[in-house]
Amino acid sequence: MVHTDIVKKIQELKARKNVIILVHNYQLPEVQDIADFLGDSLDLSRKAAEAEEDVIVFCGVHFMAETAAILSPSKTVLIPDPSAGCPMADMLDVPRLRELKKKHPEAVVVTYVNSTADVKAESDICCTSANAEKIVRNLDVKEIIFGPDKYLGGYVARQTGKNLILWQGYCIVHMRILPEDIKKMKNKHPNAEVLVHPECTAEVVNLADNVLSTTGMCRHVKESASEEFIIGTEVDIIYRLQKENPCKKFYPATELSVCHNMKKISLDKVLRSLETMSHVVKVEERIRERAKKAIDKMLEYSRAD
Ligand code: 13P
Ligand code: SF4
């Protein structure tokens, strides 16, 4: 089936079945184009919590769809490919988190949303890249366990001056962005502003003009007087940036920062998902209730953002 026919079918089924399509900024361009809402993890979780439609089709990785299912249990949440995972989310598991909690019984557990539902259920509060710094800054506690991302955690620790107990997880995609890539691109484009995601290593973050979540980058580019940008995150965000800012120029720090899990969602799979109402993402009620508390706390903290 040609592209336009698939899109037409998706639109028909969407209207008939009362569906909202939520899409992350790293999705393939053609999937971004069918979004009812395109955003970062924080925006998408807010949107999932507020959605009035009966069905949410989540075009992103599994933990994002799971977050939607935790926040909106009365809705049917579908992911077009359930194997679209986040390797970083799988780096933190409940038994090892419990062990760490036992060693630090006074510590508050701040967990990045890039985590599984059962890990969220073991946590006190969640965060995303957009609000991690604010949440940690506002916590008036002696000890904080932060996981799974050691780079986001390290960045937050440097920004807030707080000493965090860091889980040693990382994102394989952002690890591919090297300081040499940024230096090379800066030489090539001396007037370009460097924007990087906080999942990048400290060496890369230190070379950036701004450290932002994916939607943070989209907002910043619109407001900035700069006309050129070097982008240190997953490459397909550039499709959105270019579409929204046709007169500005964008250069990926490296073409290698591709999240293959995000690319598992295709238009074909979205259509199949709507036709067959699969794959349903559901979280066991006992876990869901506890995980929701940690996410709700995060949403409360960042209401004004
Ligand atoms: P954002 O919340 O900034 O969109 O980041 C999500 C993510 O998975 C980054 O790799
Ligand atoms: Fe996970 Fe990294 Fe992909 Fe984000 S870019 S979904 S952290 S693997």
Spacing, Cα 5 to ligand 1 middle (Å): 31
Element (H, E) at 164: strand 164-166
Q: How far apart are the first and last CA of the chain?
A: 42
Kindly report, residue by residue over 188-234, the tens digit of the pLDDT. Answer: 999 999 999 999 999 999 999 999 999 999 999 999 999 999 999 99
The answer to whether residue 302 scores a pLDDT higher than 80 is no
**Encoded tokens for 80:** 């077009």
Output the CA 84–ligand 1 centroid distance in Å: 14
Take residue 46 and report the two structure tokens written for it.
């807010």
CA dihedral in degrees (208, 211, 216, 221; nearest 10)? -10
DSSP string, 39-64: E-HHHHHHHHHH--SSEEEEES-HHH
Q: Going from the N-terminus, what domains does the chain have, and what CATH number goes with each?
A: 4-83+262-283 (3.40.50.10800), 89-171+288-302 (3.40.50.10800), 177-252 (3.40.50.10800)
Residues with Cβ within 8 Å of residue 304, at least 6 apart in sequence: none
Q: Is the pLDDT of residue 180 over 70?
A: yes
Contact 19/54 with Cβ under 8 angstroms? yes
**Residue 28 alpha carbon to ligand 1 centre in Å:** 15
* Residues above pLDDT 70, as percent of the chain: 99
Instruction: Give the ligand 1 atom nearest the CA of 40.
Output: 4
303: pLDDT strictly greater than 80: no
| Residue 305 banded pLDDT, cuts 50, 70, 90 | low
User: In what order do the strands lie in the sheet containing 210-211?
Assistant: 210-211, 193-196, 228-232, 249-252
DSSP 85-143: --TTGGG--HHHHHHHHHH-TT-EEEEESSS-HHHHHT-SEEE-TTTHHHHHHH---S-
Q: Kindly state if the Cβ of 214 falls inside 6 Å of ligand 1.
A: yes
Give the residue whose CA is nearest to atom 7 of ligand 2.
171
Maximum separation of any 2 CA atoms in the chain, in Å: 59
| Whether the predicted pLDDT of 1 surpasses 90 | no
Two structure tokens written together for 84: 């679209």
pLDDT tens per residue, range 17-49? 999 999 999 999 999 999 999 999 999 999 999
Question: Tokens representing 170?
Answer: 């990382």
Residue 129 CB–ligand 1 contact under 6 Å: yes
Mean pLDDT of 130-134: 97
> Hey, which residues does 145 pair with through a beta bridge?
109, 165
What whole-number percentage of the chain has pLDDT above 90? 97
Is omega for the bond preceding 279 within 30 degrees of 0, making it cis?
yes
Q: Is the CB of 114 under 6 A from ligand 1?
A: yes
Residue 139 class from Cβ within 10 Å (0-12 exposed, 13-18 middle, 19+ buried)? middle
